[in-house]
Amino acid sequence: MVYEPGYKKLNVYKKADELVLLVYKITKKFPKEELFGLISQMRRRAVSVVVNIVEGYGRRTTKDKIQFYYIARGSLNELEYYIDLSLNLKYIDEHGYNQLMSLRGDVGRLLFGFLKSFEK
């Protein structure tokens, strides 16, 4: 039997991972001069969402867990700006923008609900 970490069962993890893959796919088409700029920032923010969910999941105390989930939410908000900027710079078209924002919205809703589940 293959070990599968518990966080992989979380819907918020699955959706955030989907967002990372989409960000990587879409940013492959950006101008090469953005490799160390916008491409790097978007990819790092998207990955940050997932790794903070994973790290939070592994923490013992609720307080520690919540701290990492809020960091994930902050990274998601930063990513939203980069998506808007990409549209304004015409690096992505309306279709790409809508795909990214729809998935970003899904992750945001799931993360919000996940955070609410820790309230007493």
Q: Are 28 and 43 in contact (CB under 8 A)?
A: no
**Amino acid (one-letter) located at 81:** Y
pLDDT digits (tens, 9 = 90+) for 23-37: 999 999 999 999 999
pLDDT at 3 over 90: no
pTM of the model: 0.92
**Average pLDDT of span 49-57:** 97
Both tokens of 91, joined, read 């690096």
H or E element in which residue 120 lies: none
Cα–Cα distance, 59 to 7 (Å, whole number): 12
Which of 36, 48, 40, 29 shows the shortest CA–CA distance to 97? 29
In sequence order, the 6+-apart residues with CB closer than 8 A to the CB of 63 are none
pLDDT at 94 over 70: yes
Q: Are 51 and 16 in contact (CB under 8 A)?
A: no
More confident residue, 97 or 6: 97
Both tokens of 44, joined, read 């790092």
pLDDT at 2 over 80: no
Scanning the structure block, which residue is given the tokens 């908000």? 77
Please provide the CATH number assigned to the domain covering 6-116.
1.20.1440.60
| pLDDT computed for residue 97 by the predictor | 98
- Ordered by start, the domain boundaries in the chain are 6-116
